[in-house]
Amino acid sequence: METALAFVVGGLYAAGLYCLLRRSIIKLVIGLSLLGHAANLLIFTVPGLTAGQPPLVPPRAATPPAPFADPVPQSLILTAIVIGFGVLAFALVLVHRVYQTVGTDDLDDMRSTDT
Amino acid sequence: MSLLLILPIVIPLTTAAVALLAWRSRAAQRALGVAGAAALLGVGLALLATVWQAGIQTVQAAGWPAPFGITLVADLLSAIMVVLAGLVGLAVAVYSLVDVDPARERFGYYPLLQILLMGVCGAFLTGDLFNLYVWFEVMLIASFVLLTLGGERAQMEGAIKYVTLNLLASALFLAAVGILYGATGTLNLAALSRQLGSVSPPGLVTALAMLFLVAFGIKAAIFPLFFWLPASYHTPPVAVSAIFAGLLTKVGVYALIRVFTLLFIHDVGYTHTLLLIVAGLTMVAGVLGALAQDELRRALSFQIVSHVGYMLMGLGLFTPLGLAGAVFYVVHHIIGKTALFLVSGVVRRRCGTPVLKEQGGLYQDAPALAVLFLLPALSLAGLPPLSGFVAKLVLVQAGLASEQYAIVGVALGVSLLTLLVMMKIWSEAFWKPLPEASRAALQGAGPPRGGAAARRVMMAPIAVLAALTVGIGLAAEPVFVLALRAAEQLLDPALYVQAVLGARP
C-alpha cells in the first residue's frame, strides 16, 4: 500500500510542479493546491500505514492494542488541510482580483514590478 | 513566569480581536494598534530580562508533558527576536497613523498588523516544528492581505509572486515535516534534537536538512531563491513594506538558525559549508541588484537580500563568535532597515515620486531627514562608530578565526559596494538639487496630507530607530555580551533539550 501511495504522491508533485510552470494564473493556483495535497498524502504515508486498527483504547486498558494506526499524522493533516483550504480561498480571490486589475491571466504580462 | 511566554501571542491576538469589534471606529483601531504594539514591546523586554537571569523558559500548554503537548520555549535568541518584533511593530504602528490612507484603515489594517505580529512572535517562541508551520501560515495569511490591501496594479502583480513562492515554501516545509516525523516519530524540537543523531541512514538527515534549507531559504530570501522579494516589497504602502523588510525575512533567518543549531548538526562539514557558500552568493547577488536600481525602495529591498547573506555567514561559520555576529547582525539590521524604509516613505512624500532621478534637494530642504537617513545607511554599510561596524567586525573576526578567508573577503567587498549604493541614493535624493520638472509637479499637487504635525509623527519612530543604531554602535559591549550568550546557548543544544524535556537521559 505504501508503494502505491508513494507513486500517487510523486504523481501529485509532478502534476503540481507542471501546473506551477504554466503561464496561466488559474493553473498556478491549481498547481499550489496539488502540491498541498501531495504534502498531506506524504505525511500520511511516510510514518507507515496500519490498516483496520484504529487507535482506540479498550475498556479498562491504558493503551490501545498494538499494532494500531498512528493518529498524529492524521491530526497533522487535518490541520494542514484546514490551513490549505483557507489559503486556497485567498489565492482564488487574489487571482480573480489580479485578472480584474491587470486584465490578463498570463503571468508573462505581469512583469512591471520585476527588476 | 509562564505568563510571560504566552503574552507575546495573546496580546496581539486580543488587540486584533478588540480592534475588529471596533470595526466602525477608525480612531479606536488606531489607538489599539499603537497600544498593542507598545504592550508587546514591554512584554518582550520583561521576557528578555527573565531569560537573561533565569535561563531558558518553557511552557507546556495545558500541562501535557513534552514531547506530547504544545511547547513554548524562550531562549535568549527567541527573547531578543520578540523584543525586536515589538520594537518594529511599535515604530510601524506609529508611522502608519499618518502613512496609511483611511480606506486601508477602514478595511482592517490595524487588526491585520496585530495578527502579523502574533504569527511572528508565535514562530519565535514555539518549540515544535509543526506549530512553527502553523505560525508561519498565520503570519503569511496576514502578510498576504496587508500586501494586497488597496488593490493597486503593482500590488497585485507583486502579490502573485509573493503568494506563490511563499506557498511553495510552505508545501516544501510541510513535506519535510512529514518525512521527519516518519523518521523519528516526534516533532518536538528538543526530542528531535536528541533523536536525530541515531537516525539511519544518516544521509536521510542531511537530505532533510537540504529540504529545510530550501523551504526556509525561500522565506529568508537567500540566493538563488530571493526573486520574489524585490518584485513585491516595494509595492504596498511604506509602513507595510517596512515591517516586511524589518521582520518577515528575519523569521526565515531565525528558523534557519534554529534548525541548523539544534537539529542538523551531525554533518557540519557538508551543511554548514554549503551555508557559507550560499551566504557569499547571497551577499553578492543582493548588492549587485541594489546597485542597478533607480528607485529607493527597490534598492533597499535588494539590500535586504545582501544582508541576509551576512546573517547566514555567521551561522555557516558555526563558532560562538560567528553566531554572536549573526545575532548582533540581526539586531542591527532589523533596526536599521526598518528606519531606512520609513525614511523612504518620507522622501517619497516630500519629492512626490519614488524614482531617484526625479528626487533631490532634501539635504537643503530637510537636513534633519538627511541626517536620519545617513545614520542607518552608513550603519548598514558598516562605518564606525555605528552598529553595523561592530556587527561586521565580529563576523570578520569570526571568519578569520575559522580561516574562512574567502567569505571574509566577500563580506568586506560587499560592504564597500553597500556603501556605494548608499552614496548613490544620498547623492540622488539628498545632495543634488530637486529637478525642475519635479518641483513643478509638487507645486501643482499642493501640500501633502496632514502638514507639520503629521510630519512629526512620521519622524518620531525614525528618530528613535536611528538613535538606537547609534546607541548600539557606541555602547556595543552590552549588546555583544547578550549576542554572545545567545550564541553559546544555541551551540549547546543540551541546554535547550534539558529545559524542555527535563533532566532524564
Would you state the pLDDT for residue B136? 95
Contact yes or no for A97 and B289 at CB 8 A:
no
Q: If you average pLDDT over residues B222-249, what whole number do you get?
A: 91
Q: In Å, how far are B24, B29, B144, B146, B225 from B21, measured between CA atoms?
A: 8, 9, 22, 19, 40
Closest CA to B144 of B236, B245, B9, B252: B236
ipTM value? 0.93
With bands split at pLDDT 50, 70 and 90, how would you rate the model's confidence at B357?
confident
Would you state the pLDDT for residue B503? 61
Would you state the pLDDT for residue B455? 83
DSSP result, B193-237: HHHGGG-SSHHHHHHHHHHHHHHHHHHHT-TTS-THHHHHTTSS-
Closest CA to B90 of B32, B19, B140: B32
List, in order, residues 6 or more apart from B409 with CB less than 8 Å away.
none
Percent of chain B with pLDDT over 70: 98
CA A38, CA A18: separation in Å to the nearest integer? 13
Segment B24-71, tens digit of pLDDT:
888 999 999 999 999 999 999 999 999 999 989 998 888 888 788 889
CA A53, CA B181: separation in Å to the nearest integer? 20
Q: What are phi and psi of A21, to 5 degrees?
A: -85, -5
H-state helical runs in B292-319: 296-317
pTM value surpassing 0.90: yes
Contact yes or no for B292 and A87 at CB 8 A:
no
Which residue in A47, A98, A110 is closest to B182 by CB distance?
A: A47
Segment A44-100, tens digit of pLDDT:
998 888 888 888 888 888 888 888 888 889 999 999 999 999 999 999 999 999 999
Contact yes or no for A38 and B171 at CB 8 A:
yes
Q: Which residue of B has its CA nearest to A104?
A: B157
A112 touches chain B (CB under 8 A): yes
Q: If you average pLDDT over residues A27-52, what whole number do you get?
A: 91
Would you state the pLDDT for residue B105? 86
A2-50+67-109 sits in which CATH class?
Answer: mainly alpha
Three-class SS state of B5:
helix
**pLDDT exceeds cutoff 50 at B505:** no
Closest CA to B32 of B103, B101, B89, B104: B89
CA B489, CA B74: separation in Å to the nearest integer? 11
Higher pLDDT, B423 or B354: B423
List, in order, residues 6 or more apart from B326 with CB less than 8 Å away.
B257, B310, B311, B312, B313, B314, B315, B395, B487
Q: What angle do CA A29, A30, A36 make, to 5 degrees?
A: 90
Q: What are phi and psi of B227, to 5 degrees?
A: -65, -20
Segment B282-296, tens digit of pLDDT:
999 999 999 998 888
Contact yes or no for B175 and A113 at CB 8 A:
no
Would you state the pLDDT for residue B103? 85
Segment B398-431, tens digit of pLDDT:
999 999 999 999 999 999 999 999 999 999 888 8
Segment B105-149, tens digit of pLDDT:
888 899 999 999 999 999 999 999 999 999 999 999 999 999 998
Which residue in A46, A86, A107 is closest to B178 by CB distance?
A: A46
Q: In Å, how far are B160, B244, B355, B365 from B147, measured between CA atoms?
A: 10, 9, 21, 32
Would you state the pLDDT for residue B358? 84
3-state per-residue secondary structure call for B248-271:
HHHHHHHHHHHHHHHCCCCCHHHH
Peptide bond into B354 cis (omega under 30): no
